Amino acid sequence: MSEKRHVFRAITVLAVSVQIASPALAASLTNQDSEPRTLVVTENGVKSELVIGAGQTVSFCAAGCFITLPNGDRAALAGSESVELLGSDAIISQ
């Protein structure tokens, strides 16, 4: 019995530790390009600019947002997508 309890405890500890190690549950943005890009992000009605360096990945837009891509296209994110910038274009996947 106590062995099982140990197993449970170990699993819980492991789960928590891995959970802590995992990134926040939000949209992720990756710049695959070789130069920094700027996105306009409107989150909760507040407009701001997000500059992302070459090759960087950031997580943003936790509760959904509107974005304007470098090529002028707009998009609305629910908050769980991943966005990859390729040149001025972008791939948005669920």
Partner 1 sequence: MRVRMIWLRTFLLCLSLSILVIPVQAQPVGSGAETPVVALTRDVERLINDIEESANDDARLAEIATELTALQDDLLAAGVALTPRLSTVRGRLDQLGPAPPESEPAEAPDRLDERDALTAERALINDLIGQLEAQSIRARNGVDRIAERRRTLFTDTLSRRYDITSAFSPQLIADLAERSAALERRVASWASFTWRTKQNTVLASVFMILALALVAIRASRRTIVIWIERAEGDDPPTYFARMTNAFWYTLMPTLAFWAFLAISLLGLDQAGLMRPDILFILTRLLVGVAAVVLVWRLSEAVFAPSKPNWRLIGVTDKAARSLKAFFVAMATVTVIDTVIEQVNTIVGASLPITVARSLITSLAVGALLVVIAFLRPFPPHAGAVSDDVAADAAARPWPGWVKWPLVASGLLLIGAALAGYIGFARFAAQQIVITGAILATVYLGHRAAQAIAQDHAFGQSRLGTALTRRLSLSETSVDQLALVLGMALSAIVFLVGLPVLALQWGFRWPEIRAFGARFFTDIPVGSISISLTSIAAGVVLFFVGYLVTKRFQRWLDGSVLERSRVEPGVRNSIRTAIGYAGIAVAALIGVSAAGLDLSQLALVAGALSLGIGFGLQNIVSNFVSGLILLAERPFKSGDIIEAGGYTGTVTNISVRATEIQLFDRKTLILPNSELINSAVSNWMHRNTFGRVTVSVGVSYGSDPQQVHDLLLEIAADHPRILGNPEPFVSFDDFGASSLDFTLYGFLSDIGYGLTVRTELRMAIFERFKAAGIEIPFPQRDVNLRMVQPEADVPVELPQEPFGEIEAGEARRPDDS
Token pair of 10 as six digits: 């170990």
State the minimum distance, in angstroms, from the CB of residue 34 to partner 1: 20
Q: Given the complex with partner 1, which of 8 and 54 has the nearer CB atom?
A: 8
Can you tell me which residue has the tokens 């106590």? 2
Binding site for partner 1 (CB under 8 A): 3, 7, 11-12, 14-25, 42, 44-47, 62-66, 72-80, 89, 91-92, 94
The strand pair at 27-31 and 57-60 is best described as antiparallel
State the minimum distance, in angstroms, from the CB of residue 6 to partner 1: 10
3-state secondary structure of 38: strand
